Amino acid sequence: MVRALMLCLMLTCLSACKPQPKEAFEATDITGADFASGLHLTDHHGKPASLQDFKGKVVVLFFGYTHCPDVCPTTMSDMAQTMKLLGKDADQVQVLFVTLDPARDTPDVLANYVPYFDPRFIGLYGTEAEIAGTAHHFKISATKQPPDARGNYSIDHSAGTYVYDKQGKIRLYFNYGASPAMMAHDLRLLM
């Protein structure tokens, strides 16, 4: 009986020594993807910007446009809420908004729109050709719709968000509608 109790105690102790499994991401893990690796645009302050500039931070990258009626402001609002949930850890995150509408999203427009959600957020733009090339490299679908009688138009586009770790490697893809709590959870795992 004593021997059986000792054996149970020893097995319990040994099972406690096993490494615990790592906490899993809730987003789609795209670690090692062979696309979305480079970005060379201009930030809303007029300075050149690349993903390399943000090494040491977790980077959250979203493509959209400022005249977007729903998806873009919702995503940006969700990211702002995510930053609030992260508290002081939010300073380890850089949110980048890449315009898909360089004709209307001038640096001034981006400078008013993007930091409205959080002063740390940065808007990126480029020429039509630079934006088209960047979108293609990131596998972003974007189709400009025919303008209405007043010249207004919308852009149908991919609505997910890419996330890079602090070493600049692509790691996650947040689907549109990911909750701020879920995003904060996954961003913390990358910190």
157 is annotated as contributing to ligand binding:
yes
For 54, residues 6+ apart whose C-beta sits below 8 A from its C-beta are 94, 96, 164, 168
Identify residue 118 by its one-letter amino acid code: D
**DSSP label of 147:** P
Collapse the DSSP code of 29 into the 3-class scheme (helix H, G, I; strand E, B; otherwise coil) and give the result. Answer: strand
pLDDT single digits (tens) 117-145? 999 999 999 999 999 999 999 999 999 99
40 bridge partner residues: 50
Bridge partners (DSSP) of residue 50 are 40
Q: Environment class of residue 74 by beta-carbon count within 10 Å: exposed (0-12), middle (13-18) or buried (19+)? A: middle
Q: Where are the domains of the chain?
A: 25-144+154-190
Residues 139-190 pLDDT 10s: 999 999 999 999 999 999 999 999 999 999 999 999 999 999 999 999 999 9
Note the pLDDT tens digit of each residue in 93-107. 999 999 999 999 999
Q: Which CATH superfamily is domain 25-144+154-190 in?
A: Glutaredoxin (3.40.30.10)
Spell out the residues 6+ positions from residue 148 whose beta carbon is closer than 8 angstroms to its own: none
160, 173 contact by CB (below 8 A): yes
Question: Does 17 show up as a binding residue in the annotation?
Answer: no
Q: Is 137 annotated as a binding residue?
A: no
